[in-house]
Amino acid sequence: MTARDISPLQKAFYDVIFGTETPAGKWFDIILIVAIVASVIIVMLDSIWNLHTEWGWLFWQIEWVFTVLFTVEYLVRIWCSPNRKAYVLSVYGVVDLLAILPTYVALVFPQAASLLIVRLLRILRIFRVLRLLAFLNEANILAGALRRSTRKIFVFFSMMMIITVIFGCLLYVVEGPESGFDNIPISIYWAIVTITTVGYGDVVPLTALGRAISATGMLIGYAIIAVPTGIITAELASGLRGNHLTTRNCSQCSRAGHDLDARYCKYCGSDLPPLSRDGE
Amino acid sequence: MTARDISPLQKAFYDVIFGTETPAGKWFDIILIVAIVASVIIVMLDSIWNLHTEWGWLFWQIEWVFTVLFTVEYLVRIWCSPNRKAYVLSVYGVVDLLAILPTYVALVFPQAASLLIVRLLRILRIFRVLRLLAFLNEANILAGALRRSTRKIFVFFSMMMIITVIFGCLLYVVEGPESGFDNIPISIYWAIVTITTVGYGDVVPLTALGRAISATGMLIGYAIIAVPTGIITAELASGLRGNHLTTRNCSQCSRAGHDLDARYCKYCGSDLPPLSRDGE
Amino acid sequence: MTARDISPLQKAFYDVIFGTETPAGKWFDIILIVAIVASVIIVMLDSIWNLHTEWGWLFWQIEWVFTVLFTVEYLVRIWCSPNRKAYVLSVYGVVDLLAILPTYVALVFPQAASLLIVRLLRILRIFRVLRLLAFLNEANILAGALRRSTRKIFVFFSMMMIITVIFGCLLYVVEGPESGFDNIPISIYWAIVTITTVGYGDVVPLTALGRAISATGMLIGYAIIAVPTGIITAELASGLRGNHLTTRNCSQCSRAGHDLDARYCKYCGSDLPPLSRDGE
Amino acid sequence: MTARDISPLQKAFYDVIFGTETPAGKWFDIILIVAIVASVIIVMLDSIWNLHTEWGWLFWQIEWVFTVLFTVEYLVRIWCSPNRKAYVLSVYGVVDLLAILPTYVALVFPQAASLLIVRLLRILRIFRVLRLLAFLNEANILAGALRRSTRKIFVFFSMMMIITVIFGCLLYVVEGPESGFDNIPISIYWAIVTITTVGYGDVVPLTALGRAISATGMLIGYAIIAVPTGIITAELASGLRGNHLTTRNCSQCSRAGHDLDARYCKYCGSDLPPLSRDGE
């Protein structure tokens, strides 16, 4: 990533738009969140037929105000980036573009109105602001727990996939083709709806045997709801426990991560400084 | 908060009404809970049409008995408070007022009968009594775990909000405007109903693609049900662990981590300082 | 509890019927469980109209076989008990009686046929056998975790009760009397169905505002599903951790419960025996 | 298990088909998973009536290609196994056979077409590949936690079984025979659907008393959802903790509890023995 030299003016804009340390940067972020949420709400309201027929022209005008604002913001972001190409091609750069493009496209090709829904991707932009604000640490703990659990969750999902296929097929065979379980994909859809305990009730077993098998499946699903929960919890708990380690650094090798009851450095064997009172 | 001087009579009433140490104070609390629950049940029964037409006049009379009782209690509470303004403006003071006001308002403006529902806020008054009774410690642990998790829960809800918006819009586009997913807010309502695994079944995908997307969303929702659970559990567990260990340090070897019932240091065998009272 | 002297024959029967150590006692327990499960299944099948009309007479005969068997067992239990009154008045004694009484009552008063359902309480007798068999320890850990959590669960249920009352009333007011939310008890029933994520869909909000409030309630319910889970998990985990303590006994004061890293007894300060290898 | 001598060619095939260390073995596994998933998808699509009438002949041809491939694979597996009988009679051997048999049977007896569903057991073959690939460790931790929890889960399911029988019968008696709760098995089905929070809504209480009892049951079910979750989580957490600590004892002070990355005893500072390979 090759950074360009940027002028002081660009640097100032950069600090406000990309940064969060300065008061101006904070205000910019807050205003941006408000604008994003407002524009998303407008898109949602516009999808309601009654409101669209009555207030559609107003929504359209407000939408253009937001689009112009976001366009200006996007251009300024490009202009003040030290590395323009990296920004434009980054995930956030693409989301920023997708947030404004559909409105222009709909202007040129009115028949592409369904593209307007893409504007709702604007909501992803909130992530950027949150990321910059103070929630980095919490999100990191969560993300760390999820990342460390990836393989366990993969194993779990494979298991669940196989369970839903088996129960779906069982019900497909038992219930027969006339009672909602018309084909195997629908039966698997039913199995997922059931095992996740969503339970819409749009496809439902009607025979005695089908109900008995379903009930078994529910109890199994109920038991294995514990598995992903337990995985993440255990990971989170061990992540938190990590937080409970002292931040004492060994005076010889400077490494941290010593248990509360450690008296000697576990890496180099030299004495550790005594525990200060703030260790809970 | 400037406390007034209050007469001995006021002090005696104060101990009974606000306090819980004296036997009279305990009896007062128990009678108050019974009265609150009874009055809430009367309001509920009165909302059933059959019972209202037949027993409405009786409910009305009982309601007035409770209202007069609560009014007297409210006035006595004001009268015996050391700091009257603080009480009246406190949350509990406002709830106490809201618990009696609607009945009087409905007497003056009979058309404001729907206001009577506000009387159900009386149920919040139970909190006060519970708070005063013995459940303070448990509620504190729970509240502490929730408070420490606030930021994690905020991050979690932001994530979930964005997931429901994305799935809601996907289904809105896929299912089309004729099958329940009439507009984006309804689709988001459907997404929340689905991802929380409530699954009413009032709005349901009917196309194959819509069902496939829904099933994916359910599995994701099922996986992330682990997240808030794990957060709170980990916090609770570390809260409990904190409770089970003292921060007493051995005066000889300065090491901590002693159990509540330990009298001698488990590392060097010397006497431990006595347990101070704040350890539960 | 005053124990009577019992004859050797009574003692032998007692060991078989109440005990589990002898092979005969184990076989008796297994046969008893099979008989209980079989008789419960017969009662269930008899409730199905088709089967009742066709096989009702057979079920009736089998039922009488079981009833006579259980009656004989009940009488023998009384006969061989060291303390007859204690047995008859114990929970298990009452359940044993309720398991056979309805059949006789239905013989005398045929119109009391609905009493026959009481026979299903027989299933509670399985508890007795399970309690005697090997699952005592597991059940104890679970029961211990639940008992230690009682107060927390009480606080939790109070909170949930108040939340359901508030959401029920909100929907009652918002949805109006014509759309399922006919009165406050039904609305509270809806709130419980929703917040526990059961979500039947028999009562469902139809107005936009009602749906928005419901969605909020679901998200809250989804978040607080973590609370009881977390409570029990944390208690269970600390119960299990207790299991990880060594069983080393102090040679001076004979007390156990020492941590793995303890070198001196925490109760009397004397040396502990070294840790044997089986400590995991 | 008596191993035969096998020729070098058989050994080479064995390494590719059963092994995963060689590049060829890895490619074979990947191709096998793709073929299994593709053949399962074909079976599913063929169950959809529209697709079957239009593309049925194509599905049939593709199905035969897969069947021939899997047959060849099955024969080669037998041929290159050191112990042929052990393979054929193993679970995986039977699944491998069941994956190809139905197609041949349906050729001979066309009326046995419903047997074709058995082909979906092919999905179980994915387990074998996953087992061989890298997910062994994660699956082991999960399986270990489940195995250690078996007895607790058994106690839990007994309890839940008894609760559903009791609530099912209560609703059967309260709701009467005309409102969905037609017999006790259906009522128990309803109780399981409710307590697992699936909540289809196909059988629903309509009387006030039935609704009150259901609501109670839901709250109980909501509370005890914590139990299996808590069990597994606590077991998983202690399994993870076990993984993070070695059982190495310091040769000087004999104390254990050292982290995996520790090289010196944290209690006395002397060298620790090197970590043996079985610690992950």
Query: How do residues B79-107 score in pLDDT, each as one tens digit?
Result: 888 888 888 888 788 888 888 888 888 88
pLDDT at C205 (0 to 100) = 93
Average pLDDT, chain A: 78
Any chain D CB within 8 A of the CB of B229?
yes
ipTM: 0.76
How far is C131 from chain B, CA to nearest CA, in Å? 30
Query: How do residues D64-91 score in pLDDT, each as one tens digit?
Result: 999 999 999 999 999 988 888 888 888 7
Q: What is the interface size between A and D, counted as CB pairs within 8 Å?
A: 176
Residue of B126, B197, B264 with shortest CB distance to C265: B264
Return the top range by mean pLDDT from A22-36, B139-153, D193-207: D193-207
Contact (CB<8Å) A223/D153: yes
* pLDDT class of A263 with cuts at 50, 70, 90: low
Query: Which site among D163, D229, D251, D259 would you substitute to test the C interface, given the most C Cβ atoms closer than 10 Å to its Cβ?
Result: D229
Any chain B CB within 8 A of the CB of D222?
no
Q: Per-residue pLDDT averaged across A164-182, rounded? A: 86
H or E element that contains B123: helix B123-132
Query: How do residues D198-235 score in pLDDT, each as one tens digit?
Result: 999 999 999 999 999 999 988 887 766 666 667 667 77
pLDDT at C240 (0 to 100) = 58
Any chain B CB within 8 A of the CB of D254?
no
Query: How do residues C189-246 score in pLDDT, each as one tens digit?
Result: 999 999 888 899 999 999 989 999 999 988 887 766 666 667 667 776 666 554 444 4
pLDDT at D279 (0 to 100) = 35
Q: In chain C, which residues have their Cβ closer than 8 Å to the Cβ of B230?
A: 226
Any chain D CB within 8 A of the CB of B254?
no
Residue B132 has pLDDT above 90, yes or no: no
Residue B211 has pLDDT above 90, yes or no: yes
Residue of D197, D198, D233 with shortest CB distance to B233: D233
Q: In chain B, which residues have their Cβ closer than 8 Å to the Cβ of C169?
A: 117, 120
Residue A279 has pLDDT above 50, yes or no: no
* pLDDT class of B75 with cuts at 50, 70, 90: very high
Contact (CB<8Å) C197/A197: yes
Contact (CB<8Å) A200/C200: no
How far is C112 from chain A, CA to nearest CA, in Å? 29
Sole residue written with tokens 């007692």: C14
Q: In chain B, which residues have their Cβ closer than 8 Å to the Cβ of D201?
A: 200-201
Residue D148 has pLDDT above 80, yes or no: no
Q: In chain A, which residues have their Cβ closer than 8 Å to the Cβ of C228?
A: none
* pLDDT class of C110 with cuts at 50, 70, 90: confident
Q: What is the interface size between A and C, counted as CB pairs within 8 Å?
A: 10
Lowest mean pLDDT among C25-39, C109-123, D74-88: C109-123
Report whether A200 contacts D200 (CB < 8 A): yes
Burial status of residue B117 (CB atoms within 10 A of its CB: 0-12, 13-18, 19 or more): middle
Contact (CB<8Å) D173/C114: yes
Cα A223 to the chain's mean position, in Å? 27
Q: Per-residue pLDDT averaged across B175-181, rounded? A: 81
Lowest mean pLDDT among B19-33, C81-95, D85-99, D103-117: D103-117
Convert D116-143 to b/e letters by CB count within 10 Å (16 or more is b).
bbbbbbbbbbbbbbbebeebeebbebbe
d(C-alpha A232, C-alpha A234), whole Å: 5
Burial status of residue D214 (CB atoms within 10 A of its CB: 0-12, 13-18, 19 or more): buried
Lowest mean pLDDT among A126-140, A147-161, B233-247, C121-135: B233-247
Q: Per-residue pLDDT averaged across B223-250, rounded? A: 62
Please indicate whether residue C14 or residue A243 has the higher confidence score (pLDDT): C14
The structural domains of chain C, ordered by start, are 8-136 (1.20.120.350), 150-227 (1.10.287.70)
Q: In chain B, which residues have their Cβ closer than 8 Å to the Cβ of C261?
A: 266-267
How far is B239 from chain C, CA to nearest CA, in Å? 9
Cα D84 to the chain's mean position, in Å? 26
> Given phi > 0 = left and psi -120 to 50 = alpha, else beta, which region is C204?
beta
pLDDT at C71 (0 to 100) = 93
Query: Angle CA(C78)–CA(C80)–CA(C81) in degrees, nearest 5?
Result: 65
d(C-alpha B277, C-alpha A176), whole Å: 69
* Contacts of A271 by beta carbon, 8 Å cutoff, 6+ apart: A251, A263, A264, A265, D269
How far is A175 from chain B, CA to nearest CA, in Å? 20
The pTM for the full model equals 0.80
C neighbour chains, 3+ CB pairs within 8 Å: A, B, D
* pLDDT class of D48 with cuts at 50, 70, 90: confident
Please indicate whether residue A14 or residue D235 has the higher confidence score (pLDDT): A14
Closest CA to C100 of C65, C126, C130: C65
d(C-alpha A273, C-alpha A267), whole Å: 14
Please indicate whether residue B244 or residue D91 has the higher confidence score (pLDDT): D91
Lowest mean pLDDT among A180-184, B236-240, C68-72: B236-240
Report whether D8 contacts D75 (CB < 8 A): no
Average pLDDT, chain D: 78
pLDDT at D142 (0 to 100) = 67
Average pLDDT, chain B: 78
How far is A48 from chain B, CA to nearest CA, in Å? 5
